[in-house]
Structure 1
Amino acid sequence: MNRFKLIAALLFVTSFSFAQTAPPADIATLRQNFKKLDVLGSVLYVAAHPDDENTRLLAYLAQEKHYRTGYLSMTHGDGGQNLLGNEQSELLGLIRTQELLAARKVDGAEQFFTRANDFGFSKGPEETLKIWNKEKVLSDVVWVIRKFRPDVIICRFPTTGEGGHGHHTSSAILAQEAFTAAADPKRFPEQLQYVQPWQARRLLWNTFNFGTTNTTSPDQFKIDVGVYNPSLGKGYGELAAESRSNHKTQGFGSARQRGESFEYFKTILGDAPQNDLMDGVNTTWKRVKDGESIDAAINIISKSFDADNPEQSVPALVKLLGKIEKIGDVYWRAQKAKELDNLIASCAGLWFESYVAEPAYALGDSIHVRSQVIDRYSNKVKLNSISVNQTETKFNSLVIPANQLQTYNSTVLADKITQPYWLETAHSIGTYNIPGQLYVGNPENPDLPAATFEFIIEGKAIRFERRLAYKYVTPVNGEIYQPVEIAPPVTANIASQDYIFNNSYPQTVTIKLRSYTNSNGSISLKSLAGWKIVPEKFDFSGKTKGDEWTVAFTVSPTEHRPVTSVLEAVATVNGKAFSMGVQHIKYDHIPNITLFPPSQAKLIDINLKIAGKKIGYISGAGDLVPEALRQVGYDVHELTEKEIMNGDLSGYDAIVTGVRAYNVNERLAVEQPKLLEYVKNGGNLLIQYNNNSGLVTKQIGPYPFKPVNQRVTDENAKITILDEQNPVLNYPNKITQDDFNGWIQERGLYFVNDIAPNYKQVLQMNDPGEAPNNGALITGAYGEGRFIYTSLAFFRQLPAGVPGAYRLFINLLSKPKAQAIP
């Protein structure tokens, strides 16, 4: 692909749905597209995370006003929690990216991102912008504005902090600075080889009324976005609920709202709207030179459109395309030509796609591609060529027979691993690395395998792109489309991400390998100072596609081992080295996600003592704590309701509830008396943090306390030990200040207050400038047993291998046998 074609491909990327490869072509969609074709206006909505966007407003702007509408999310939502599974950090960000894309398919807007990483809750913009690297993220916002060219920019949050989250406030600060910077050719001039400076007309704040915070007022400009769209058979409150309900990892299923609903706006920069959001902006074809004739042609075609015979509009639409391609405004020429191309294909009854025979291929292998084309109305459309990954098949104006499915086969090379572009290299806490300017803003890799079709329609050559997909059929769901995977020849997954050494004994490191092609080679672990690895390598040969096998290395600590080392597996295949694992994320509401993370694990030397062995675990909203406990030798059993209600719990040294268990597990309200009975009879119950909103029972413990929305976000915040003699700080491990070093993302969240005197408050901590908080860890005796509630973020620390977090968590699990329990 030459440089010009690459730039074009990256700048103008078509959308893709895992339910189908072709865009909708129903009559309601065609009528909406005719209306959109006649509107030249754009609006960009800016906020910080997936779910921050106002889906009702986006749907209204995109499908009622027919503006080109976009949502720029600063982050992928990597730092949140997951109500569906145990994916965290980057993996959660990948899921939420796809949830946003699913939401946009409903409300009709487009999706963009910056390189900012959602590193967790931040209480102010100063911290956020420092960690994000303000200048880099600002450059991304400027790029999106210059590329998207919005007439109006709308912020979800203000710069003054009412949004509550430092990321929220930062998104508004960046939007405000970018509003001016995007128009200044001296700012980020390296972008100007691809885009031009752009000055939006105005920047507005979409004020809100959330909970106890009401920032709206009667004198603000307002729009009724609760209107009904008869073409869609829905109002925008209904569309908004469908869109927002795609945020399933956050539990944001929403009821459909109907009827009048006003959105309020405060002007931040630019002139204030008086009568319309686009006051002062010409959104008709008069916006471009000689646009009046185009507007007149669109009106004639729209009025004469026959829903029973849409193909009759094709000749006029093709002539219209010729006119649009001659306008001088490069931006609107590209946008409207793309819209018109799709409208012509839909009216012509033209359907086409390219799909592959297998779900995954190895880098360098051949991919068999099947392309199918059908012209449902006539034999007037001709196929000129199909190109896939630089491999072009020419058909020289081949006539497509009317309503007869045509199939064409081709073979192309798998030339690039399908790794999410922002995860190709290691990143800092605050920002991802972007491989090049043209990748910035894209929600997915813009250069994923795709097919380009060129048709001759009414004598005019028109090109279309379709993303390659793997298509298959299941007895339950019928026809399914999923993204194509291009993998390294062999992947190597290390069985655990952490190996905890608390003595000099060796451990077995198991590696699961998978071949994606015919392969010969070896697998080895890179040598590490302070560690002995046996054997040096394992050879393999004669492996074929789909083969899986395991090998086991023995890793032994030596006398001078470091506290933490990174173990890396290297598969040498046909003379080339690869150090990548494979991870699949599969949920019914989004496309399958495949990534190839580094084939690495941590070796962690911890002075760790363990008491007890058997742990009962009650799952919450998804965390990796059970796996971490198994890594250090615990027998962890995930308890069922039957076992809790009718079983003998006395055999468990401790029972632990997962994060947010009392928010997501309704049955805990019924099971709670049994758990407290277990404590009363001598058990040890450890409750991890819960959100203060939506608790299934008001009293989690034997005595009152209340979770509240308070947290300590500085992972290095000073810790004051309030109760030095408490067994949780002394048995079996002596906890000191050193055990709070190296924590990640945050100390804790949703601390507790209104704590009954029956509890001991063990630790005190606070973020800079805030009052000390004692609600991170409380313990209390109940009968013969011990109850513990902790808001410390163990669910992040243990998977990250934080030594002190392991030592403290083990203490929480370990109730002394012959000692009074505070």
Structure 2
Amino acid sequence: MNFRQTTLYCFLLIPLLTSAQTSLQQNSAEIKLGIKKLNTVGSALYLAAHPDDENTRLLSYLAKEKKFRTGYLSLTRGDGGQNLIGNEQSELLGLIRTQELLAARRTDGAEQFFTRAIDFGFSKNPQETFKIWDKELILKDAVWVIRKFRPDIIITRFPEDARAGHGQHSASAIIAREAFSAAADPKRFPEQLKQVEVWQAKRIVWNTANFGGNNTTSEDQLKLDIGIFNPLLGKDYGEIAAESRTNHKSQGFGSARQRGEGIEYFAPVAGQPARIDLFEDIISDWKRVEGGERIGELINMAEHDFNIDNPAASVPNLVSILTALEKLKDTHWRTQKVQDVKELIASAAGLWFESCSSQPIQSQNSIVNITSQILVQTDTPIQLKSGNPGDSYTLLKKGIIKNIKSGSGKEGTTNPYWLAEEHPLGMYTIPDEALIGYPENPPLLQTTFTFNINGKDITYTRPVVYKYTDQVRGEIYQPLVIAPPVTATITEKAFVFTGNASKTIQVQLKAFNTSPTRGTVVPKVPPGWDVKPAQINFDFISSAEEKTIQFTITPLGRIESGTLSLSVNIGTQIFNRGYKVISYDHIPLQTIFPLAEARVERIDLITGGKRIGYIAGAGDLIPEALEQIGYQVTILSENQILTSKLSEYDAIIAGVRLYNINDHLNIIQPKLMEYVDNGGTFVVQYNVNNPLKIQNIGPYPFRLSRDRVTDENAQITLLDKEHDVLNYPNRITEKDFEGWIQERGLYFTSDADPKYSRILSTNDPGEKPNDGALIVADYGKGRFVYTSLAFFRELPAGIPGAYRLFVNLITKNKTK
């Protein structure tokens, strides 16, 4: 056995990965389907803007029925959306949605790719989108993926105009069309041609659709019925599509299985139009590859001779196919098909092998203790090649696990490559552009196994992972994490000061080094701030030690908002990373090392009241933000709302999208309205207009529209400057709307009863003013507030004016 650690890095030699898998264990039906797929040398690339934009039914049809190599290029990772399962936002939400996409691809059989574009939230047209996205860089990324993937057809989800319904959607169609031509032009991005060749797809088409009241299909378009049952899988592609789409759990996209006819429509965009079939004039068998005819014959023989009760009998045929493939001059298809047939050989032979670390997290440059296990489960004679002088072989015994111990160290960390650097709005900063396209990091540590199977040496690689047993979930695999020696995690993303009083900042130190580690943590603050002490020493004896340290920060005199940052000094080395874990059962554990920094902001703010009740919605960080400025926040359950004395709360706040997700609203809503009637203040944050659990959100009627203002710098007009919510306890002016992030608001109200006061008006450039972002009504002795303003983004980011206005919304002037 030649056993070593290496870094998977070269895109030209190995296809882009969709997951850090251990040994693939395919059943007989999957092996047979894989043999059939060996005979197809065609590829298709689907391109859109976000996770969930892809047509999973079409992807599964292309990958499993047409047996094309199929990919989905999502320009973004969905970073700007909302989260229905937790409170992660922005980059953290992008991490979750990346893994959800990978789970979807493992279901539908396609591969996953990304550009460096960031989803910055809703935009209304491509012009607005390209003000934030660097169009040329994203086009470059798309061309890079096309030149590597070499699709025969490119399919877009959206058109280039307003029918796309979202500026990023239409921008993705523009990128797709331009990349279709640019990938074939040696004058476009010529630096890529050192590693890839120009590529011209046969055609690019738009996969038209009928949903959301927007029907872009027509009977004169190319039609394809993909509602086909696959007997090897026991499902049709509508069922597979539903399973794939249901992986998008953070978006609440659980889907019912569709069965039977499924018509897809396609309109030509560029290239050679298709008249009767999406794949016409595309040679997708081995005749397209020089020297491929013999390979096709061998694959046909393997398919004909395949014994579903004894897949191991196909090993000799598969080895012959591998030998023939290795002689091909076409490096693209040789690379792809060699990888595929090697995995089929292992599966057919009942060969299982993996490499696991003894610990889930290891410090960079420390020794990783690795156990590799190998098992042969058929009578196929397989020898393990050693790395000893003379390259000796060991015959593996059927049913007997062979264990091999080893150790290795590795530089660097497993922090996601797109989060390694600070980045501007709209674009990740990725210094090493060879990484672009990868859905996640290439494995930092992996092992190489060489087996002699049917007289042929075959080499495999497997990532080093961590495996453990959970009492409820059973055997769990998760990625091996390589960490800095010591991390310093600041407890909040932003610290808000309401005066000149000092605030204690807690920092969680965590050691990952297995040997004793000494060092200092040194804070740095913006001009006008004071921090004490100037440094704190630490002394860890071993890994897994943790300790909490504290710094005191004080605003002094003339101050500026800015960034608190920490450096961890160990000898001559300086580290500046924190530690964050994202854990959900439906995705692998995600561990990242964000920069050890936080925003510090001094706000001219008067607060009123102290006790706040909060009803959790889809997930946000408003409670933590309010605690920053001194409020006592209690998360209220449905039972507490029904049985406790709500009058003890100065205000009650509904979390974002509460009225979309809480099935008990018909029971608790009367109690909340009673609380308002008796003098309470109830603030409801944004909801989408469909579906709503109840229709009457407030004491008087109003509707929710799809209107929104996406320009975070859009002009604000105060319509009722004397209203209490603009004057008590803080005087709100237009200046308070400066510095907001991502958007003003979303799903504004409309058709509000005259009893509501409309407080402000705003609009995107070129649109008419909209007064539905904030409405307030007195009801009985209390106040009801509905706001579509994006407080769930602004408060955690420490935006001063957003704090001032939100405090006013939850503070009723009881002297009136």
TM-score (normalised: structure 1): 0.97
Match of 2:500 in 1: 504
Q: Is structure 2 residue 800 aligned with structure 1 residue 803? A: yes
1: CA distance between counterparts of 2:608 and 2:414? 45
Residue 414 of structure 1 deviates from its aligned partner by 3.0
Q: How does 1:213-228 map to 2 (within 5 A)?
A: 213-228=214-229
Change (3 A) 1:805 1:466: same
Contact 2:18 2:102 in 1 (8 A): no
Q: Match of 2:244, SS?
A: helix
Q: Does residue 740 in structure 1 map to residue 737 in structure 2?
A: yes
Asked if 1:413 is matched to 2:409, the reply is: yes
Correspondence for 2:588: 591
Cα distance, 1:437 vs structure 2: 2.4
Shift of residue 552 of structure 1?
1.1
Task: Report SS of the residue matched to 2:105.
Answer: helix
2:786 is the alignment partner of 1:789: yes
1:676 and 2:667 aligned: no
Q: Confirm whether residue 648 of structure 1 aligns to residue 651 of structure 2.
A: no
Q: Secondary structure at the match of 2:536?
A: strand
Q: Which residue of 2 aligns with 1:107?
A: 108
C-alpha displacement of 1:403: 2.4
Take 1:168 and 1:15, find their aligned partners in 2: how far apart are those partners? 24
> Structure 2 counterpart of 1:299, which letter?
N
Query: Which moved further from structure 2: 90-99 or 451-460?
Result: 451-460
Query: For 1:425, which of 421, 424, 429 is the aligned residue?
Result: 421
CA shift, 1:316, in A, is: 2.2
AA paired with 1:754?
D
1:520 paired residue among 509, 513, 518: 518
Displacement, 1:479?
A: 1.3
1:343 aligns with 2:344: yes
Unaligned residue ranges in structure 2 (runs of 5+):
none
Amino acid at match of 2:227: G
Structure 2 residue aligned with 1:132: 133
The 1:711/1:244 distance shift into structure 2, 3 A limit, reads same
Cα deviation code 1:536-577 (max 9, x no counterpart):
222122432111111111111111221x12111222224422
Alignment of 1:457-476 (within 5 A): 457-476=453-472
CA, structure 1 residues 385+143, in 2 after alignment: closer, same or farther (shift >3 Å)?
farther
Deviation at 1:444, TM superposition (A): 0.4
* 1:135-192 residue CA offsets vs partner (Å, 9 max, x unmatched): 0000000011100000000000011221110000000000000000000011000111
Note the 1:357-372 alignment, pairs <5 A: 357-372=358-373
Q: Give the match for residue 192 of structure 1.
A: 193
Q: In the alignment, what sits opposite 2:554?
A: 556
* Separation in structure 2 between the aligned mates of residue 445 and residue 800 of structure 1, nearest angstrom: 28
- The verdict on how the C-alpha distance between 1:310 and 1:703 changes in structure 2, with shifts beyond 3 A counting, is same
Change (3 A) 1:645 1:67: same
Is the contact between residue 522 and residue 540 of structure 1 (CA under 8 Å) also seen in structure 2? yes
**Partner of 1:59: helix, strand, or coil?**
helix
- Residue 600 of structure 1 deviates from its aligned partner by 0.6
Q: Secondary structure of 2:356's partner?
A: strand
In the alignment, which residue of structure 2 is the partner of 1:234? 235
Correspondence 1:536 to 2:527: no
1:485-531 CA-partner distances (Å, limit 9, x unpaired): 11111111112222211211111111111111231112221254211
Distance 1:520 1:435, change over 3 A: same
The farther-off stretch of 326-335 and 73-82 is 326-335
* Count of residues in Structure 1 that have an aligned counterpart in Structure 2: 811
1:519–1:544 contact (8 Å) kept in structure 2: yes
Q: Amino acid of the residue matched to residue 515 of structure 1?
A: A
Q: Distance in 1 between matches of 2:644 and 2:375?
A: 62
The answer (yes or no) to whether the contact 1:28–1:232 under 8 Å persists in 2 is yes
Instruction: Give 2:702's match in structure 1, choosing from 699, 705, 710.
Output: 705
Q: Secondary structure at the match of 1:191?
A: helix
Q: Secondary structure at the match of 1:293?
A: helix
Residue by residue over 1:185-229, the C-alpha shift from the partner in whole angstroms, topping out at 9 and shown as x without a partner, is 110001111110000000000000012211111111111111100
- SS in structure 1 at match of 2:162: coil
Which residue of the partner structure matches residue 23 of structure 2?
22
Deviation at residue 73 of structure 1 after TM alignment: 0.3
Q: Which amino acid aligns with 1:589?
A: H
Deviation at 1:2, TM superposition (A): 12
Q: CA deviation at 1:398?
A: 2.4
User: Contact 2:370 / 2:405 at 8 angstroms: preserved in 1?
Assistant: yes
Residue identity matched to 2:305: S
Which amino acid is 1:75 matched to? T
Q: 1:76 — aligned with what?
A: 77
Identity %: 52
- The 8 Å contact of residues 191 and 437 in structure 1, kept in 2 or not, is answered as no
| Residues 242 and 312 of structure 1: CA distance in aligned 2, closer, same or farther (over 3 Å) | same
Q: 1:3 to 1:583 in 2, by over 3 A?
A: closer
For residue 701 of structure 1, report the CA deviation from its aligned partner: 0.4
Shift of 1:235: 0.5
Within 5 Å, give how 1:267-416 maps onto structure 2: 267-378=268-379, 380-385=381-386, 396-416=392-412
Deviations 1:460-485 (A, max 9, x none): 22221212110111222221111111
Q: 1:404 to 1:15 in 2, by over 3 A?
A: farther
On the 8 A contact 2:479/2:588 being kept in 1, the answer is yes
Identify the match of residue 439 of structure 1 among 423, 435, 444: 435
8 A contact 1:660–1:690 mirrored in 2: yes
Other-structure match for 2:614: 617
Partner Cα separation in structure 2 for residue 780 and residue 478 of structure 1: 53
Aligned pairs for 1:127-276 (under 5 A) are: 127-276=128-277
Q: Closer, same or farther in 2 for the Cα pair 1:415/1:321, shift >3 Å?
A: same
For 1:261 and 1:743, locate their aligned partners in 2 and report how far apart those are by CA, in whole Å.
44
What is the root-mean-square deviation in Å for CA atoms of aligned residues? 1.6
CA distance in 1, matches of 2:386, 2:707: 61
- 1:522 alignment partner AA: T
> Contact (CA 8 Å) 2:13, 2:335: kept in 1 or not?
no
Matched residue SS, 1:7: coil
1: CA distance between counterparts of 2:674 and 2:511? Answer: 52
**Is residue 12–residue 196 contact of structure 2 (8 Å, CA) maintained in 1?**
no
AA partner of residue 467 (structure 1)? P
In structure 2, what is the Cα distance between the partners aligned to 1:393 and 1:629?
67
Find the counterpart in structure 2 of residue 759 from structure 1: 756
Label 1:9 to 1:15 Cα distance change in 2 as closer, same or farther (>3 A). Answer: farther
1:9, 1:446 within 8 Å by CA — same for their partners in 2?
A: no
Aligned to 1:602, the other structure's residue is in SS state strand
CA distance in 1, matches of 2:488, 2:793: 24
Distance 1:760 1:25 in 2: 63
Is contact 1:379–1:401 with CA below 8 Å preserved after alignment? no
Contact 2:12 2:195 in 1 (8 A): no
Equivalents in 2 of 1:717, 1:591: separation in Å? 39
Indicate conservation of the 8 Å contact 1:384/1:455, yes or no.
yes
Secondary structure (helix, strand or coil) at the match of 2:223 reads: strand
Shift of 1:423: 0.3
Answer whether contact 1:521 1:575 (CA < 8 A) is retained: no
Residue matched to 1:714: 711
> Does the CA contact (< 8 Å) of 1:378 and 1:402 recur in 2?
yes
Contact 1:181 1:187 in 2 (8 A): yes
Over residues 399-428 of structure 1, what are the superposed CA-to-partner deviations in whole Å (9 max), with x where a residue is unaligned?
A: 222221101111000322000000000011
Once the 2 structures are TM-superposed, how far is the Cα of residue 297 of structure 1 from its aligned partner? Answer: 1.2
Structure 1 residue 721 displacement after superposition: 0.6
Task: Return closer, same or farther for 1:524/1:543 CA change in 2, 3 Å cut-off.
Answer: farther
Shift of 1:396: 2.9
Q: How far 1:311 sits from its partner (Å)? A: 1.9
Secondary structure of the residue aligned to 1:24 is: coil
Deviation at 1:71, TM superposition (A): 0.3
Unaligned residue ranges in structure 1 (runs of 5+):
387-391
Q: Which residue of 2 aligns with 1:389?
A: none
Q: CA deviation at 1:447?
A: 4.1
